[in-house]
């Protein structure tokens, strides 16, 4: 079992297996596998077309796990949560190798996708771009600073815009309070107002939760979207006590609670689940029992 405690989950509209195959082809050192399937019976009415089909597809992206959730058309990813990939010399041999690898990944993600920021030189990066792929998932690709030969490759990045505008600092501080072994990193305010961002808003910040890198920023342009279930953060808990504690600390929208999913005060979706959820779901009638739950109660699965 992976020791990665927080796993980004990407909502897929019936095409999770196809998306997993695509990512395994696009990214270096990456593989995908169907991890679980919907049962043939006991489904809610809207789930019945998915009977027997993949439920979750695991993507192991250069040692970092993503989970693709196969579902309907209710939600889709948007750029409020993206994956930032940093291409460093050590992973790809040298600087030319890192740049060539970045270019190769970019070309495949952009094919059938939408370029949000062109691949180019920016004040903050020698070579950087932001793209939304054909499945709606957003990726930021950047060449590491020459002084950083072996950076963390995958960093989930939260952009606070729309109804969550200018709340990046508050969210970061809250998560640092909630999660064990959390550590603040760099924090860079805009300094002067930019679009909807104030001078105090975060142009960029980074931090670690449970030993994993995350970044947060406030959007510098008006956005008509914010966080949804399209990308959620799954936390794999050791026991019921940990589930209870995180649920109490994070859940802020009671009507959004279902099957272990919750929405926090900033609009970010989380899944608070047992670390052995796959094993528990093999119990008789576990799927039907889960559909009746808000917070997961292990003993009742």
Q: Is residue 31 a contact partner of residue 44, using CB atoms and an 8 Å limit?
A: no
Question: Longest C-alpha distance within the chain, in Å?
Answer: 58
d(C-alpha 130, C-alpha 84), whole Å: 9
Q: Which domains does the chain have, with CATH numbers?
A: 81-218 (3.30.720.110)
Instruction: Write the pLDDT tens digit of every residue in 133-181.
Output: 999 999 999 999 989 989 999 999 999 999 999 999 999 999 999 998 8
What is the average per-residue pLDDT within 263-269? 98
Considering the entire predicted model, what is its pTM? Answer: 0.94
pLDDT of residue 1: 42
Share of residues in the chain with pLDDT > 70 (%): 99
pLDDT value at 31 more than 50: yes
pLDDT of residue 44: 72
Q: What is the mean pLDDT of the chain?
A: 94
pLDDT of residue 2: 59
Instruction: Write the pLDDT tens digit of every residue in 94-105.
Output: 999 999 999 999
pLDDT value at 293 more than 90: no
């Amino acid at each position: 079992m992976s020791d990665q405690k927080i796993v980004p989950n990407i909502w897929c509209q019936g095409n999770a297996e196809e998306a997993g195959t695509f990512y395994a082809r696009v990214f270096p050192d990456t593989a995908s596998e169907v991890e679980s399937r919907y049962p043939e019976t006991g489904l809610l009415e809207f789930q019945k077309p998915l009977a027997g089909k993949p439920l979750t597809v695991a993507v192991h992206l250069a040692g970092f796990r993503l989970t693709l959730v196969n579902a309907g058309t209710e939600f889709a990813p948007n750029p409020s949560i993206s994956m930032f990939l940093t291409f460093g010399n050590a992973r790809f041999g040298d600087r030319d190798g890192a740049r060539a690898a970045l270019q190769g990944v970019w070309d495949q993600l952009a094919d059938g996708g939408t370029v949000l920021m062109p691949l180019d030189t920016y004040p903050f990066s020698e070579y950087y771009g932001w793209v939304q792929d054909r499945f709606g998932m957003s990726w930021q690709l950047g060449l590491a600073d020459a002084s950083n030969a072996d950076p963390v490759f995958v960093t989930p990045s939260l952009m606070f815009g729309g109804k969550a505008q200018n709340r990046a600092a508050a969210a970061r501080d809250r998560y640092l309070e909630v999660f064990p072994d959390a550590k603040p990193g760099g924090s860079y305010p805009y300094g002067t107002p930019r679009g909807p961002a104030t001078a105090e808003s975060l142009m960029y910040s980074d931090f670690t939760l449970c030993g994993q890198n995350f970044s947060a920023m406030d959007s510098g342009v008006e956005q008509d979207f914010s966080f949804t279930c399209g990308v959620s953060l799954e936390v794999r808990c050791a026991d019921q006590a940990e589930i209870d504690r995180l649920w109490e600390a994070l859940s802020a929208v009671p009507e959004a609670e279902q099957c272990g999913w919750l929405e926090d005060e900033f609009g970010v979706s989380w899944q608070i689940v047992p670390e052995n959820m796959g094993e528990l779901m093999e119990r008789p009638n576990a799927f039907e029992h889960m559909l009746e739950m808000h917070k997961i109660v292990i003993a009742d699965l």
